[in-house]
Amino acid sequence: MGWENLSSISEFFLLGLSEQPEQQGVLFGFFLSMYMVTVAGNLLIILAIITDAQLHTPMYFFLVNLSLTDTGLVSTTVPNMLTNIWIQNQVIPYAGCLSQLYFFILFGILEALLLVVMAYDRYVAICHPLHYTMVMSHGLCVLLVSASWIMSAFCSLLHTLLMNSLSFCAEHKIPHFFCDINPLLRLSCTDPFINELVIFSIGGLTGLVCVLSLIISYAYIFSTIWKIPSTQGKQKALSTCSSHLSVVSLFFGTTSCVYFSPPLTHSAAKSAVASVMYGAVTPMLNPFIYSLRNRDIKTSLKKLIWVKKNYFPRLY
């Protein structure tokens, strides 16, 4: 196999989810619909929270950031995939590939950290309700979100710089629909030991801290809920956590299938399918999970639609 110097690499070829020509139209329609629903759903959640003063609380402040993150995550991969299918061109420039990798890791890590922050918010609200306003101050909320952004940007930059230091073989075909870490490492002609070490150390440590934080937070939450004497009080407390638990299960369940599955069961096809789940399906489902299970969000959306009808009565 031929070798190319790193500086001479100009492009990669994204093979996508299927190389069958008859399936391209189906994939284009499916992902276009998914992308439009995702963006519209998340923007509606953001607009509903911003316009409703009653939702200007820490929980919904974090939800706005989660919706922005979901929009960024799906916008990093799906539009490029749709463009490739439409113009029937699988080429992505080398710089574009690394840029896509950077932003995908950025939004992926940011989503995990925001879910942990939201779990801490629920812990304070349920376990220490009398101190909630004092503890979850505006300054702390901004600090938690800012720290999540900074940590995500640092980790993403580190992974991208390490990937940029590798040399790649003459075959630049990526069996994926975007530039992810694992498919790129398989194309490397140099030893990716440092990259893998950073992935398993920093990535594993970040994932472990996130999972442990979630487990500890909900252990205290369920312990407190169990002590509530009335059934109605227990149901009310659980309802404030059900949406978050659903999103956590969906996101961490799919990401673990991609990055922490045993090598023997790991394949390019399974990785691509799992990546679709947490990179496209999860951002699309999050607005529905929060809007359908959250009475405040549903009420705010109804108000938003009612105001829109009053401003544009001829459209209805």
One digit per residue, pLDDT tens: the chain, 316 residues?
A: 444 444 457 889 998 887 777 788 899 999 999 999 999 999 999 998 998 888 899 999 999 999 999 999 999 999 999 999 998 888 999 999 999 999 999 999 999 999 999 999 999 999 999 999 999 999 999 999 999 999 999 999 999 999 998 888 766 888 888 998 888 888 888 888 888 888 888 888 888 899 999 999 999 999 999 988 888 888 888 888 888 888 898 888 878 777 666 554 556 666 777 778 878 888 998 888 887 667 788 788 777 776 555 544 554 4
Question: What phi, psi does 169 have (nearest 5°)?
Answer: -75, 170
| Cα distance between the two ends of the chain | 63
Identify the CA nearest to 90 among candidates 12, 170, 10.
Answer: 12
Residue 163: the pLDDT is 92
Residue 3: the pLDDT is 40
> Which residues, listed in sequence order, are joined to residue 12 by a DSSP beta bridge?
92
Residue at 2 is within a domain: no
182: containing domain: 7-315
Residue 5: the pLDDT is 41
* Local structure of 2: helix, strand or coil: coil
Residue 2: the pLDDT is 41
For the chain, what is the domain count? 1
Residue at 32 is within a domain: yes
CATH number at residue 148: 1.20.1070.10
Residue at 99 is within a domain: yes
Residue at 117 is within a domain: yes
Residue at 217 is within a domain: yes
Residue at 131 is within a domain: yes
Q: What angle do CA 84, 286, 157 make, to 5 degrees?
A: 60
